[in-house]
Amino acid sequence: MKKTLPLIVIIASVILLLVNYIMSDYINRGFWLSTLSSALIIVSMALTIKANKDQDKD
């Protein structure tokens, strides 16, 4: 479960990002902040996956 959790979070973040884009009536500060937070979550989980792979190699 520990290895698949970052991937699940990435998938959920992408889905929420798309839903936010589709459902947003106005592109204002709230839209950009939620988009930025989803993008940062995706980046952090990708780095977590990379770190886990590097740790497994050692």
pLDDT for position 21 = 87
What's the rounded mean pLDDT across residues 40-57?
Answer: 90
pLDDT for position 1 = 59
C-alpha distances out from residue 43 to 25, 46, 48, 49, 52, Å = 26, 5, 9, 10, 14
Distance from the Cα of residue 41 to its chain's centroid:
4
User: Above 80 in pLDDT, residue 36?
Assistant: yes
User: Above 80 in pLDDT, residue 2?
Assistant: no
